[in-house]
Chains A and B, each alone.
Chain A
Amino acid sequence: EDKVVQSPLSLVVHEGDTVTLNCSYEVTNFRSLLWYKQEKKAPTFLFMLTSSGIEKKSGRLSSILDKKELFSILNITATQTGDSAIYLCAGIIQGAQKLVFGQGTRLTINP
C-alpha cells in the first residue's frame, strides 16, 4: 500500500527559528513529490521535486529529495508568524496522477 508519513505532526517554535519538516514515502511507481502549505482553505503549491539531491529554493523555504532513502525535507529559515500553517507533502504515482498525501505537519510560529 502506498504511504507517505510526515514528522513531526505538530511543531511550535518562536519567530526567527529555523525548522525542518520531514516526509518519508513508500509509493509504487513514484514520479515526484509535492509540498503544499495549507492555511485556512486550499493547499497552495510550494515545490515539486523529481530529481534526487537537487535543492529547490523559494525565499526562506527550501526543499530536497533523496530517492535512495525515500524521503524529503522542507526547511524554513528565519520563520515568521505568517509561516504558521499545515504543511502537506504528497507523492505522485506515475501514470495515474494520484496524489498520496501525508498527514501533514501543523507548524505554529509564536511571536
Chain B
Amino acid sequence: DTEVTQTPKHLVMGMTNKKSLKCEQHMGHRAMYWYKQKAKKPPELMFVYSYEKLSINESVPSRFSPECPNSSLLNLHLHALQPEDSALYLCASSHRQGTGDTQYFGPGTRLTVL
C-alpha cells in the first residue's frame, strides 16, 4: 500500500480565515513533505519533516505553519493567506530523508483564497 491521504480535497477561504490541511500515511515512512503547485508548474517544496522534526523550510512565509504531531500525520496551518497562495497543496512521504527514497504523493488539496 503506497497511499497518502489528504483532506480536504477542496478548500475555499477568505484572507482572514484560519484553516488547516491534513495529510496521513500508514506506510511507516519517517519523512513527510509539503509542496505547493501552481497551474502548469512543477511542485515546489515548502517543508520537510524527518522523524517528526522540521528539517527543511524553503523560506516559506509565516502565514503557513507546519506541524507533525506524530509519525503518520502532517498538518499545514493556514492564516491570513493571500489570493496568490491559491494553488494545489501536495503532501508526500518517503521511507526516510536523505536516502534517496521515492516520494509518494497524496491527491492534494486545491486551495482557493478569496
Asked, given contacts A42-B90, A44-B105, whether A95 binds B98 with beta carbons under 8 Å apart, the answer is yes
Give chain B interface residues in 20-49, CB to chain A under 8 Å.
31, 41-45, 48
Q: Is B86 an interface residue (CB 8 A)?
A: no
Chain B 53-85 interface 0/1 with A at a Cβ cutoff of 8 Å (1 = within): 000100000000000000000000000000000
Could you tell me how many residues of chain B have their Cβ less than 8 Å away from some Cβ of chain A?
A: 27
B17 part of interface (Cβ distance < 8 Å): no
In the complex, the answer to whether B97 meets A97 with C-beta atoms within 8 Å is yes
In whole angstroms, how far apart are the Cα atoms of A42 and B90 in the complex? 7
Closest to B106 in A: A42
**Number of residue pairs A-B, CB distance < 8 angstroms:** 60
State the majority secondary structure of interface residues on A: strand
B101 shortest CB reach to chain A, Å: 7
CB proximity to B under 8 Å, residues A6-62: 31-32, 34, 36, 41-45, 48, 50
- In the complex, the answer to whether A97 meets B2 with C-beta atoms within 8 Å is no
CB of A97 within 8 A of CB of B100, answer yes
Contacts of A41 in B (CB 8 A): 88, 107-108
| Interface positions of B (Cβ within 8 A of A) | 2, 4, 31, 41-45, 48, 50, 56, 88, 90, 94, 96-108
